[in-house]
Every structure is written in C-alpha cells, then in structure tokens.
Structure 1
C-alpha cells in the first residue's frame, strides 16, 4: 500500500508538472529591427523570454540573449509538447557594416528552469529561416527557409538537434511556414510564392514532397491545423486568388484586403473570409473552438501612407470545421505580430512590435477586453510566440 501511495503521489506530481509546463509561452524578441528614422543606437540585444500563464496577470519568468527575428511569419518559435525545450529561428542578422542581412540561425532553448532559460545548441540552416515545428513525440523538427525554397529536417533526442537532410521545393515556392499534422504522418508547408499549402509526407525521419497542394490565396503566410488534423487554417496577405491574367494591384493604390482560409484537407474545399489589411498570424485555441487573427491594419506604415491606421486589429473567430464566424474584435497597438491563447482560452497574448510590448486580453467567448495594466514590456520587439499546445 505504501508503494502504491508513493507511485500515486509521483504520478500526481508528474501530472502537475506537465500542466504547469503547458502554461509556458515563449516569445522571441528582435532588438535589431528599427523603425524608419530610428538611430542605430536604438538597437538592443535580441532575446528569448519565457512567460508564465498559470497566473493572471501573466508574468515574464526569465529571458536569455539569443538571435531572433520579427521579419517573417510569427511562427519562428516552437515549444515541445512537454514544454521541456523550445526551438527559435532567426531569419535576419546584423553584418559587419551594421546592416541587416538574411540569416538562418536555429537555437535550442532549455526550459527545464523557466526562470533561467539556457541556449543548448545553435545551428545554421539556409538563409531566411522562418516557421519551425516539432512533432508531438518531440523526435523530429522542421524549419522553413524562404530564400532558397528548402525545409531543413532534424531528428531530436535529449533536447539536441541532428541534421537529417533537406527537402528541396520547386523554385519560387518561398516557404514561410511549416507545421506538423497532429498525427505527425504529414506536415504542411506554406508556399508564399505560389499561393498554396503543400503537403509533406513523413515516414520516420524521411520527409518528402507529395503531389497534394491546395490554392488558398495570394501570399499565404502562416498556418495551423484543427486538433483532429482534418482542417487547415491559414492567412493570405494578398487576399483571395486573382483570376488568371488579372493585373496585380497598382503600387500606391488602395490596400489589399487579406483573408484567412479554412481548407477541408479531404475534399480540398476552401472557405475564404476577408479579415483586413495584412493578416500577420492565425493562432488556434487549445480546444480548437477559436482562432485568433492578428491584422496589421496599416499600423506599421507611415502616417501619410494610404490605409494607415494608428492601431492594429485582434480578431477572434469561432470555428467548426470550415465554418468560420467572427465573434470579437479589438483595437490593438501598432505593428503587431504573434498571438497565443492560454490553455483555458480565456487569455490572449498579442505581440506588438511598435510599442515593444505584449498586450494582454481577456476573452469570455463573446468579447475581447484589453487589460492595459497587465501589458508586458520589453527592450526588443516581440515577433514570434508559441506554447506547447498552440500548434
């Protein structure tokens, strides 16, 4: 009986630890990215921060200096399902002349002690590293690089990445994101250059391009699966597909309305929803009932630019398969990037680069309420964010 009691106690502690770890968010913060007119002296160090979502308001537990990049899809962070480590990519760096150039830096972050995260490993992949994903078993990771149309494959063991090859996509695909399906037997690449979601087949550590692709819109950017893997949701910066032969929007003309699309992966049926100008990120609640969509809304542009607004938009949609219905919208700060839900879906964190902060919203299923007193401040610009259950 004593042995059984000890085993039960250990199981309870392990379960509690898993739940606690699941409530961690990891934010990648870019200190080198300047706004027009900013002096070079305004640059700060890039960093990776760990945020505690077990409590309200959320709290930054610890940070570590490491390469990060906010230019690109806000999916440059992936957290293992047991929240023991994270992978962060950086698609830009400063060169010797003090200018930004393409990069392909991948960092492995130890989260065993969230108040003191550590960099365990740094690797180089193809330039333009962007979206990153880890399978649910924590044994395989993929990194999209948009400059040369590649997906880097890594096996994972003991929180260490080992290169296992690259997937070469056709020229011009410019992948911005990649995400494992829930069953990890396939993955989805966002082909920004061709307006498509492309399936990868996964067998062990062998990853190959399938002949399955779905056209979603112009300049797709980021994507996420439904929890059952039957539906894919993605953002399209350039909106709905253009008819063949249709001219591109003229420079200086009205801003293009971006979309999110819901794709039934069995039938390839696509449902497109207009959301606003430049939808940066689509994030799913853990239960799969809601999507958060981050819309720049011209807030990163100069005040004299067409379509400028002094605020962005945070939107929440209720989803049921490919049915997508807007239930809430709030004005946000400017130049906002990534978003995540807390495990219970009642709190949403939104990274806003202009103010160098993460805004905190309460969500009750009907409305979003920004809690300015809970805003998290940073020295660098938050650009990508994830939790163990966000993808």
Structure 2
C-alpha cells in the first residue's frame, strides 16, 4: 500500500517498523521465515484517529529498542535499522545484520532511496535536531555509525567506539541543541555522553551509571533532563526508569523510580508534561508462569520541574514495543505486538484515556515506532 503524503506543513508522520520473521510462541521468540515480510508502516497523526498512509517492504528487526527507526526534523527522510536477519545456514535462528534503509517521505508515495551499511547489529538511530546528521548504535560491535545528510542521501563519515563488544549500545538520543548525544548501553549498565560539533561525534569521557540494563532513552524538549528505561534482568521483578539531570555537568542520574517489569520503552511528551514507560509486565511469559500477566502496563508520570510524579497506570497489550505521541501531545499510540494493533490514547490535562480505537496490522511483530523527536507545533 502507498498513499500520497499530506502537505509538509500539516503532516505528523509516525514510522512503525514491523518484523515479519519473528513471533512470540509460548513465551519464546520463534523465527518463521527469511524476512520477506519485514516492512514499515507510515501513519498520519494530524488526524484523529490516526490513519495509515503507507507501507514499504524493507529489512528490520525487533532485536533492539523501539527507537530503531527515525524521522528527520523536516519530515522528508526516515530511517529503519535491521539488527538481525534470518541465518541462511539455519532458518530457525537469526544472525546480526548491518543494513539501514533510507526512505524519502518528502511528498507523494514514500519510497526507498538507499540501503546503507552500518556496523554489526544496528539498532537505535536518531537524526540530529538540525537534520544534518544521523547516528546509529551498532549493538554487536560496540560502536556508533555516523552519517552526514546530503539532501535526500546519507553518507557515512565515521565509526565511533562506545565501549567493548559487550557494552551493547542500544538507543541514541540528541539534546535539543544538538551539542550532546546520549547512548544507552544495556550490556554494561551505562549511558555514555558524546560531544557533537562540526559534524563530528566525540566521547565526552562521561559514562553515567543508570539502572540495570538501560535500554530505551528519551530527552525532554527543554533539554533539562533525559529518562532511560532500565529493562532489568527479565526475572519477574519490578524494574525502573532513571532521570538524568542535564542542567549540570557532569550529567548525572538524579532519581530512579520503580515501574512494572521490563520497561522496554520510555517517552517524554513533546510538550514536556508527561513521561510514559511501556512495560511488558510479564505479558511475554507462558500463561502458567507465576510471573505471567495478561496485559502490559503503561506507567504514566507527570513532570514537575526535574521531578517525575507517578500519575497513573493503564493496561496495554502483550509484548508492547514502543509508543509515539502526536506533535501536540494530545494522542499517544502504543504498539501491542501479540494483538498486532496500535492502541490509541487521548491525552489531556488530567491524564490519559484509552479511546478504544485500535489500528490493526495484518502480520508480523512490532519492532519500533518514531516521530520527529522535537516537533514544533
């Protein structure tokens, strides 16, 4: 399916990557094909309920955080990474991939313009706020791939080490001024700080100690704090999110708050009023497990300065993979993987309401979802 895009000034594109080769089967991830059904859906969040406006086949993977897709600040380009592919020698398992797909979403039907080579196991990807750079975290070799944006094309300019191969860089997130890049490392429990200037990314010499296995990552639109989702050890215990103070250098964790088990994604609303943690809550386990829950949990916090105040919890689907706010922060999409649907919430001054609206997909498992990081409304 392809549908003409809305005028650039009105669009609110959400890009949803769908892994067509992996499914959850009796509590375990199972490979069902060679990836021929991998792809990405495009949704328009400028209308309510949001509507599907396009689909393209391309390699992707649910291995890695739900930030394995990105939309450029001007909504002309999108990127999707592919951390894994089916092993040609053994179709029952996956092996690391290296591909990053570039999509032209400027006008008319979306189209693929490039397939790039990053490092081994590319996962989290972000555009810089000025749109001149994109950075990919390579999960299996402990590096970042840096790309320069030239019109509608990307050119690789550098490979930057994060740590050793076991550090497993996951998510990337720029600060709104573009001067700092944060990278979560769930392999060794750090969030690394990088300085960004003149098209170059350099280690700042500061590795922040977050919770157990920091994974998802989000930076506030005012640039004052970031939040990381600490997925923990998937042991059935409650897990956490950590708040990173960006108003003081060296940057530091200033608070850690408990959430339901396995918060794979965390997201700050574009208006800076809310933080949500998308938690599996035991929903990936077999039904006779003592840790099983029939639904995931959306944990909602209200932002008060640099503090997060627990506001509410809402049931969501099983094995939920990421969320996306509309640019005006009045709608939230949550990807429910087992149910193969996007759950639609309304957001107001008093909190979140499940509208009952669902946007179904026909196949596959959600891998990532992303909109513009710092939209101007």
TM-score computed with the length of structure 2 as normaliser: 0.90
Cross-structure match for 2:23: 34
* Aligned residues: CA RMSD: 2.1
Gaps of 5+ in 2: 1-5
Cross-structure match for 1:257: 238
Larger fraction in strand:
2
Cα deviations by residue, 1:283-321 (Å, 9 ceiling, x for unpaired): 121111111210000111111223110100112211134
Between the two proteins, the alignment pairs up a number of residues equal to 361
Structure 1 residue 131: deviation in Å?
Answer: 0.4
- Is the deviation greater in 57-66 or in 284-293? 284-293
2:58 to 63, 66, 74: 66
- Is the deviation greater in 311-320 or in 94-103? 94-103
**Matched position secondary structure for 2:102:** strand
Answer yes or no: is the 8 Å Cα contact 1:125–1:152 preserved in 2. yes
Structure 1 residue 341: deviation in Å?
Answer: 0.9
In 2, the alpha carbon distance for the partners of 1:390 and 1:256 equals 33
1:55-204 correspondence runs (5 A): 55-96=47-88, 97-98=90-91, 99-113=93-107, 116-171=109-164, 172-204=166-198
Gaps of 5+ in 1: 1-15, 239-248
In 1, the alpha carbon distance for the partners of 2:138 and 2:178 equals 20
In 1, the alpha carbon distance for the partners of 2:290 and 2:303 equals 32
In 1, the alpha carbon distance for the partners of 2:322 and 2:61 equals 12
Cα deviations by residue, 1:186-229 (Å, 9 ceiling, x for unpaired): 20111212212111111212211111221111100011111122
In 2, the alpha carbon distance for the partners of 1:175 and 1:358 equals 27
Structure 1 residue 147: deviation in Å?
Answer: 0.9
Q: Aligned in 2, Cα 1:259/1:150: closer, same or farther, shift over 3 Å?
A: same
Cross-structure match for 1:369: 353
TM-score computed with the length of structure 1 as normaliser: 0.87
**Matched position secondary structure for 1:336:** coil
Answer yes or no: is the 8 Å Cα contact 1:284–1:340 preserved in 2. no
In 1, the alpha carbon distance for the partners of 2:82 and 2:290 equals 30
In 1, the alpha carbon distance for the partners of 2:190 and 2:184 equals 6
Cα deviations by residue, 1:10-43 (Å, 9 ceiling, x for unpaired): xxxxxx944412x111111111012226783797
- Is the deviation greater in 36-45 or in 24-33? 36-45
**Matched position secondary structure for 2:25:** coil
In 1, the alpha carbon distance for the partners of 2:314 and 2:339 equals 17
Name the larger-Rg structure. 1
Cα deviations by residue, 1:130-150 (Å, 9 ceiling, x for unpaired): 100101111111000111100
**Matched position secondary structure for 1:371:** strand
In 2, the alpha carbon distance for the partners of 1:269 and 1:309 equals 30
Structure 1 residue 170: deviation in Å?
Answer: 2.3
Q: Aligned in 2, Cα 1:35/1:269: closer, same or farther, shift over 3 Å?
A: closer
Answer yes or no: is the 8 Å Cα contact 2:8–2:107 preserved in 1. no
